[in-house]
Structure 1
């Protein structure tokens, strides 16, 4: 993989050469740059708009929307970890990343991804309490409990990637190591190492599967209980209202795990390397782009507040 001899173990002497998509014609760089720029601006603007709406409207001061703000912040940070680097690649041809910057990017990319999975579990638990135990909901989901749940999700997400990132940083790399990706993903970096990457690849895969599908199992269990409770509701209107409460969250969960499946299939399938890279890109951008659309189109409360906010803003009112 590397054009330079692997003879350096000193991080200060190591740089990473991000190859992007090797077979993408340079004539397409500018159009692709504008596509990703539009998507990135949409993520930042869309998520920020919902954040402002939730913060300024007292009707949205509920646990559900507190956890939503955490999800939106995660999406903004997650895309900012990777997309600006991709934009620099397409516009300026910037392909060099220092050793510390590469591993910091790797840590943030995987940590924030884990955070999204854990916040989705917390949101599912909130829906479980709201529908299965409505009389005890305000007692169980107090502001203190909400903060502890969100803080636990963030802390776990930021701690879990540390062993894999630290271990991979101890591998041998050349003074200029070629990474076949747009950013420093764990798998791409360890496979570019001069060391035997078998164990690190297996470890990364096991961690990814555990962090992805254990939260999925918890979400499925929560919604299994929710479904049973909804089916016990006698009124059709009551069942419809209960289902509508969960719709937005279920769509977000579906989008998140669809992006994981795309990335997994792209990696495991016998496809050209560009497809493997595109799978990673889809994982990095799909959920952050979809979330603002889902919550502005499917959630009536958020939609109403944003419409009111935009109407006042357009008229120059505070």
Structure 2
């Protein structure tokens, strides 16, 4: 059967990872495992932050928002990819494709903005510790979180809505496992100049500007750390932002890797494999990065899990 026969009016074909049917079971198991680890890991971070009063601080409040964004980021693409592998169907409707693009950009922008807000929080904690509690008050934290969500939701609309003006040829094959905006624009028959202008403008405003804010915050943080006389003081100051710095490096490193790879080589397969890093691997690793070296998170997670055990025993007793 030709791939073109699988599409109806307005449908697209997601070529996915491989054409080899022998690898589908392995791929399905791998994706499902990574997705479950991502959702459960980030959900535990959220539950730990809510349940433990010691974690009711700006840093952990923003971390719980980041975990929520990571769950949404992964859930936008992976469930559809799993369904396509299981059903041996690669079809996605036009509406489904538009929805994927929109929410993928929303949660991606939200990650950018939250990482910037968290960098500012670390800047205030290290460079202005005496004013930290006054400035980073609950109302400001709430406004910063709500503001980042609002900007992400509204900022993702222009790039998505401009797709509606495009027409597409009979070849509607997307060499990806989800509707990636640049790949969708490549298969359009009509002029995509406006779309590209909007896409790069949004990328600059919601991608480059936040990254600039992070770099400025950390330049001040490193400058303050270097002025600390004792090695113990330097280590303590750096340890408060080490996890965040690692997450920032991982997120932007993989994102920039995808961009430069797409510019340097036209290979869609290479772009696809690079996309896996920031769409699946980074959200999956974030909970581990923040919890492995953080005693407060570890204690809170143990408390949450210990509370779940009696609930499970009660549930099993009711069923028996």
TM-score normalised according to structure 1 size: 0.90
Q: 1:165 to 1:271 in 2, by over 3 A?
A: closer
Contact kept in structure 1, 2:47 and 2:304, CA below 8 Å: no
Deviation of 1:311 (Å): 4.2
**Cα displacement string for residues 92-122 of structure 1 (whole angstroms, at most 9, x for unaligned residues):** 1232222222111100001110110000000
Give the unaligned 5+ runs of structure 1. Answer: 5-11
Change (3 A) 1:151 1:312: closer
- Correspondence for 2:123: 128
Q: Which range moved further: 249-258 or 273-282?
A: 273-282
Q: Cα RMSD (Å) of the superposition?
A: 2.3
Q: CA deviation at 1:178?
A: 2.3
Partner of 1:157: 152
Counterparts of 1:134-213 in structure 2, within 5 Å, are 134-174=129-169, 177-201=172-196, 203-213=198-208
**Displacement, 1:91?**
1.6
- d(CA) in 1 for partners of 2:173, 2:182: 13
Q: Distance in 2 between matches of 1:209 and 1:86?
A: 29
Name the CA distance, whole Å, in 2 between partners of 1:209 and 1:104: 22
Question: Structure 2: which 5+ runs fail to align?
Answer: 315-320
Following the alignment from structure 2 to structure 1, what is the Cα–Cα distance between the partners of residues 24 and 260? 25
* Deviations, residues 151-189 of structure 1 (Å, cap 9, x unaligned): 111111111121111112210125773222211111111
Superposed displacement of residue 272, structure 1: 3.4
Instruction: Tell me if 1:31 matches 2:26.
Output: yes
CA contact (8 A) 1:19 1:179 kept: yes
Find the aligned partners of 1:152 and 1:206 in 2 and give their Cα distance: 20
- Asked whether the 8 Å contact 1:15–1:176 carries over to 2, the reply is no
Matches of 2:223 and 2:58, distance apart in 1: 22
Does residue 66 of structure 2 align to residue 71 of structure 1? yes
Note if contact 1:120-1:219 (Cα within 8 Å) is conserved in structure 2: yes
What is the CA-CA distance between 1:88 and the residue it aligns to?
Answer: 1.1
Alignment size in residue pairs? 309
Instruction: State which of 16, 20, 36 in structure 1 corresponds to 2:16.
Output: 20
Distance 1:233 1:173 in 2: 60
Moved more, 40-49 or 95-104: 95-104
Please list the CA deviations of residues 206-227 of structure 1 after superposition, one character each: whole Å capped at 9, or x if unmatched: 5335532221111111011112
Q: Distance between the aligned counterparts of 1:276 and 1:34, measured in 2?
A: 22
Which consecutive aligned stretches of 4+ in structure 1 deviate over 6 angstroms post-superposition? 315-318
Pairing 1:238-249 to 2, within 5 Å after superposition: 238-249=233-244
Distance 1:176 1:99, change over 3 A: farther
Alignment of 1:53-92 (within 5 A): 53-92=48-87
CA distance in structure 1 between the aligned counterparts of 2:248 and 2:265, rounded to whole angstroms: 27
